[in-house]
Amino acid sequence: MTHDVEKGRVGQSFDDFLKEQGTFEDTTEVAVKRVLAFQLAEAMKAQGITKVEMAKRLSTSRSQLDRLLDPDHDGVTLSILARAAKAVGRGIRLELT
């Protein structure tokens, strides 16, 4: 059986692969947004916070909250993420690496 797909070098990290493809930054950004959306939804679920209640806590609309929780929506600001984290008793930690 032959493969047309070129295999990466042994020991090559996935990050290195993404950098070679020129997609590292975009991929990382999407992954972070997905994780944050998932964690926020899980915190709401664990605390029994409905979308309606969460929208009230954030002084926003349900449709805005839906965009915040949508892992594919990239128009979310750090400010709204921080407010959402605070609304479920959490915080956000950012660091430069």
In which band, very low, low, confident or very high, does the pLDDT at 52 lie, cut at 50, 70 and 90?
A: very high
pLDDT higher than threshold 60 for residue 7: no
CATH assignment of 16-87, among 3.30.450, 1.10.8, 1.10.260, 2.60.40: 1.10.260
Q: Is 3 exposed, middle or buried (0-12, 13-18, 19+ CB in 10 A)?
A: exposed
On the CB side of 82, how many CA atoms lie within 13 Å of its CA?
5
96 sits in the region (left: phi over 0; alpha: psi -120 to 50; else beta) called beta
Alpha-carbon distance 40 to 56, whole Å? Answer: 15
Domain boundaries, the chain: 16-87
Cα distances (Å, whole numbers) of residue 68 to 11, 58, 83:
37, 11, 11
Please tell me whether the overall predicted TM-score, pTM, comes out greater than 0.85 for this model: no
Percent of the chain predicted with pLDDT > 90: 43
In which band, very low, low, confident or very high, does the pLDDT at 4 lie, cut at 50, 70 and 90?
A: very low
